[in-house]
Amino acid sequence: MAPERHPSSLGTPADSINLGPELGPIFCTIAAINVYGQTVGNCVVKDGFTSAVGFQWHGAALSPPPGVPANNNLTSISDDGWIGGGTFPDIFGSTGAAITSPTGQTIILTNHEGQPTASLSWVNAVTRHGWAAGTSFEGGCQQAVAWLAHPGQSYPEFRMGTCGAASGLTDDWYVVGTGTDSLEDQNSEWAFVWFPGPGLQRLPGFGASGERSYTIAVNANHHVLGQIVDGTTLHTVIWYVGPRPATP
């Protein structure tokens, strides 16, 4: 089947603000798209604040999508329709990390102590059943975390064991992200994979002194897209973090 070569212009909310010639007439960003073409993102609307938006191929944008708090930022959507998002530093009064079900029920995710997440917590990736991964401020830093409970999230998130953020998640609970040894030292950032059993594992680099590495996403075949900064050179890389071979 030949690829679609003609772009489709997505509708934007009727109340989006005009930011002038420097930023364009409407400032909207697309955050994620799933296999069915369902798309989520965020727009600056008439009150000057960012609003969650569900974009449609045909028809007006939904601002916000059904069940999503208007003042959340949306980051992700799963193939079965779960939407992930949360609070970013510049969003006043929004919830912490949250997911919204395909039927429009928003669930505020819980932290390590079982309390609702507060500001500076958000979901970076969501997959089927509402499993999610992201970051949550607790324990003195932004923790890389994942929420792998029942969709009702009746028990708290899993800490990955490092400050930083999780950026991707598979249906079989492979979590990838970027950790750090020191929040004050950017050179201490490193890519990781986490999965039940072995737990956190740093992903290998090229072995150069002062090297930094980051993850961007992971697919269902456990290929991890990321980047390694080696001195002044930026390398785009793919790691394979598949299941370990079965023990004879």
Tell me, yes or no, whether 38 and 108 share the same domain. Answer: yes
**Residue at a domain's end among 57, 89, 120:** 120
* 148 part of a folded domain: no
Long-range Cβ contacts of 127-130 (<8 Å, 24+ apart):
127/78, 127/79, 127/82, 127/169, 127/170, 127/171, 128/78, 128/79, 128/80, 128/82, 128/171, 129/80, 129/82, 130/78, 130/82, 130/99, 130/101
* 132 part of a folded domain: no
* 54 part of a folded domain: yes
247 band by pLDDT with thresholds 50, 70 and 90: very low
Of 49-53, 196-200, 202-206, the poorest mean pLDDT is in: 49-53
Domain containing residue 191: 174-248
Entry pTM: 0.82
* Span 147-189, pLDDT tens digits: 987 655 555 578 888 999 999 999 999 999 999 987 666 668 9
Tell me, yes or no, whether 115 and 182 share the same domain. Answer: no
Among 146, 156, 141, smallest CA distance to 110 is for: 156
Tell me, yes or no, whether 116 and 180 share the same domain. Answer: no
Residue-level pLDDT at 64: 80
Residue-level pLDDT at 225: 97
Tell me, yes or no, whether 104 and 181 share the same domain. Answer: no
Of 17-21, 108-112, 215-219, the poorest mean pLDDT is in: 17-21
* 152 part of a folded domain: no
